[in-house]
Structure 1
Amino acid sequence: MKTMKIDSIKSHLRPYSITNKRKTTINHAFASAIAPNDSYDINKLKEAVRLLGQNEDDLHCVYCGKPAETWDHLVGLVKNSEYSGYGHVIGNLVPCCKDCNSKKGNKNWRDFLKDKDEGDKKENIIKEYIKKYYPKKVSREEIEKACSEEMYALDSLKENIIKLFKQADEIAESIRLKIKDMNKSI
C-alpha cells in the first residue's frame, strides 16, 4: 500500500472550479436523459444473466469474478462529451464490482479484459451475451433527424447551465480574493 506524500495536498490548495469539476457530470446527465432504457422484465433478465454463466441470486463481476455490487455499461453513455448511441439496456449492462467499474471507466470493455485472468474466456462469454442482447446503436445524428427541435432545446439548456457555472466561477474567484484581502488585514 502506498503511503501519502506531502505534495498530495496540492490539489486541495488550488481554487475549485465548478465548471472544470462538473462539466463532465452535466454531459453525463444530459446523455443519460436521452439514452434509451429497457423495461424491467424479470424473465428476460434471468435469461440474460444465465447466458453470462451466472446465478441470478449471486451475481459476480464479469471482469474479475468478485461479488457484483453494481451494473457496468459495456459501452459508456458518453463519448467526446456527447451521447454515445447506447443506453440503459440489458445488452449494454453487465454485473460488475465497484472496483472494476471505477477502473474501467469509459474504456472499451475488451481492452479492459486483456489484463484480467481468463480474459479470453470472459470475452467470449460477453460476446455471446452481446450477440443476443446488444442494442442497435442510435447515433446522435439519427436522433437529431428525428427530434431536431427537442435536441436543439436540450443542447441550448446544457450550454446555458455550463455558462452559469462559468459565471459562478467568476463570482467565486472575486469572493476568494476579497476573503484573502480580509485575512491580510487581520
Structure 2
Amino acid sequence: MAVPKKNKNWDWDGPLKNRMGKLLETGLWSDLVVIFGNKEELRLRTLVLRAGSPMFDKKITAAVETTGRLQIDDEDPNIFKMMINYLYTGKSDVNMNDALPLLKTASEYAIPGLVVQCESALKGKITDENALSLFHGAMDYAHKNLIKTSLDYICENAASILIRDEFAHLRLECLVEIIQQDRLRV
C-alpha cells in the first residue's frame, strides 16, 4: 500500500483540537465560504458546522451546498468567529466584553456547551457596575439562569444598585421585575 504524500500545509501530528484549529485557521479542505456583509469571508467545513449546531444544519440547504456560499448579515463577524472557533476546537476564550453577545449567538445556534461557558463567564464577574446591564441583557435574550443570577445579585446589593443612574433608564419590564422582588435589601 502506497503511503500518501504529505501535504506541506498540514501537520498530521498533535491533539485533535490543534488539528481542528489549524483547519479553521487555514481553511484547508473547506467546502463552504461564509460571507459577512459584502466583504469578509471565512472558509469552513459544513460537516463541522452541521455536527455542532442544528441551526447550521437548517441553514446549509441544497442551494448553499451547490454554491458553496452562505451569506451572514445579522451577526457580528468577531462574535460569529468565536462561536465557530468553539465548534472546531471545543474551547472558547470568552471575556466579559464578548460574553453577552456570544451567549445570544450561541443560544440562537443552539450550542449548549458554549451557552454554559458564556453564562459561567458572566456569573463570575457580576459587580455593582455591570449587574443592571447584565440583567437587562439576560431579559433581552430570555436566559433564565443569567436572569436569576443577576437578579439575585441586584437583590443582595439593592442599596447600592438602585441608586445608580442606569436603574432609572431600564425598560419597564426590567424595572417591574426588580421592584416586585420581596427580597430586595434596601
Q: TM-score, normalised by structure 2?
A: 0.24
